[in-house]
Amino acid sequence: MEKIKMTTPLVEMDGDEMTRVIWKMIKDELLLPFVELNTEYYDLGLPNRDATNDQVTIDAANANKKYGVSVKCATITPNAQRVEEYHLHEMWKSPNGTIRAILGGTVFRTPIQIEAIKPVIRNWKKPITIARHAYGDIYKATEMRLTGKGKAELVFTDEAGKETRQTIFDFEGPGIIQGCYNKDDSIQDFAHACFQYALDLKQDLWFATKDTISKKYDHTFKDIFQELYDTQYKEKFEAAGIEYFYTLIDDAVARVVRSEGGFVWACKNYDGDVMSDMLSTAFGSLAMMQSVLVSPDGNYEYEAAHGTVTRHYYRYLKGEQTSTNPIATIFAWSGALRKRGELDGNQPLVDFANKLEEASLQTLNEGVMTKDLVGLCEGITPKAVNTQEFMVEIRSRLEKLLQA
């Protein structure tokens, strides 16, 4: 069989520990035998980030900007212990944070579902995608612990030096205050990303805040979404047969639980943080959660939602076989290859990406899986395999699908 060709390079960001090992296995078993992989390779493994003073992360993000699509392996975000372990020159920042700061945009997370793992919420038939606004609010808040009586005020000084003041509270005793902000352009970017992603998936978009209580802050989010929808997306949504709707966050939670799934749920920063953990747990496992960063100017970065699976890596280093789940990383590759194919009008590449996902799901649905999933299955007797065996099982199904 002739290998599938790629016209434009895909930006490849390699990473750390167990996921770096899996990365190579995926390429060797599932990609290179079938695709003439055309990637621009950046080694974001911690030793190389340290050797390049983290320049490699910046270069990789800029390459993502140039070509539009990247696939990223999980990477270590160093802490004090890692500085010692890797003899680092500095405690380098989170690569995801650096990339997000350069590309901007919104992170979408979607669970990968299989028949034998039933969501905790029985009526969820289709995955729910969380879109989290990863900017501002309490993540950039200024806080004060007040030890006694006094008046707290909100003061804004404009460029001309004119002050606007509002009393927050007259304290008769100790208390706490917090100052949060967000920016119109960041909220607009977030809204664009959500509308575009919903159109991409052809799924409804839900958005919810607490605008009845937060009449300026949350209400601004609501207004910006509504204005962009009315002026730029309404017709496109109608043509695609999908819907945008806004509701209160407490109403949204109730509706999500009662829904069948199959929509994009846009969340403010804090709501997205909390709700994405709720969703991944309720759907099954972090090892089955895919993640893509979509920037307002149409750049895509695909990755797994989980980390570098350190505990498994230390066992691997001791020569033990591990049963680490590669599914989310495989889907990062398939997602990136499909997007590359779509942008280049390269149908064979799109078909390959779809078949890679189909082969992976077939393997799981036939009960062959890594250990982390075995305990979650119902109604079947699963067969636990190690990572390498799992890849071989996927490959044999992929070969059949490609020959069909």
* Contact residue for ligand NAP among 311, 314, 383, 396 (CB under 6 A): 311
Rounded to the nearest whole angstrom, what is the least distance from the CB of residue 102 to ligand NAP in the complex?
A: 16
Does 137 engage in binding with Mg ion (CB under 5 A)?
no
Residue 74, contacted partner among Mg ion, ligand NAP, none, CB below 5-8 A by kind: ligand NAP
Q: How many residues of this chain bind Mg ion (CB under 5 A)?
A: 1
Q: Which residues contact 92 (CB under 8 A, 6 or more apart)?
A: 46, 49, 50, 54, 57, 78
| DSSP sequence for 144-164 | EEE-SSEEEEEEEE-TT--EE
Does 54 engage in binding with ligand NAP (CB under 6 A)?
no
Does 110 engage in binding with ligand NAP (CB under 6 A)?
no
Residue 273, contacted partner among ligand NAP, Mg ion, none, CB below 5-8 A by kind: Mg ion
**C-beta separation of 78 from 47 below 8 A:** no
Please provide residue 264's backbone torsions phi and psi, each rounded to the nearest 5 degrees.
-105, 130
Rounded to the nearest whole angstrom, what is the least distance from the CB of residue 2 to ligand NAP in the complex?
A: 33
| DSSP sequence for 173-211 | S-EEEEE----HHHHHHHHHHHHHHHHHHT-EEEEEE-T
Judged by CB under 6 A, the chain residues 172 through 211 that form the site for ligand NAP are none
Q: Which helix (H) or strand (E) holds 24?
A: helix 17-26
* Contact residue for Mg ion among 204, 223, 273, 399 (CB under 5 A): 273
* Contact residue for ligand NAP among 33, 150, 307, 367 (CB under 6 A): 307
Instruction: Name the DSSP letter for residue 230.
Output: I
Rounded to the nearest whole angstrom, what is the least distance from the CB of residue 309 to ligand NAP in the complex?
A: 4
Give the pair of three-digit tokens for residue 71.
């696939």
- Which residue's beta carbon is nearest to the bound Mg ion? 273
Plot region of 284 (φ>0 → left; ψ -120 to 50 → alpha; else → beta): left
Give the pair of three-digit tokens for residue 396.
């044999």
Does 281 engage in binding with ligand NAP (CB under 6 A)?
no
Site for ligand NAP, rule CB under 6 A: 74-77, 96, 286-287, 303, 306-311, 324-325, 372
Site for Mg ion, rule CB under 5 A: 273
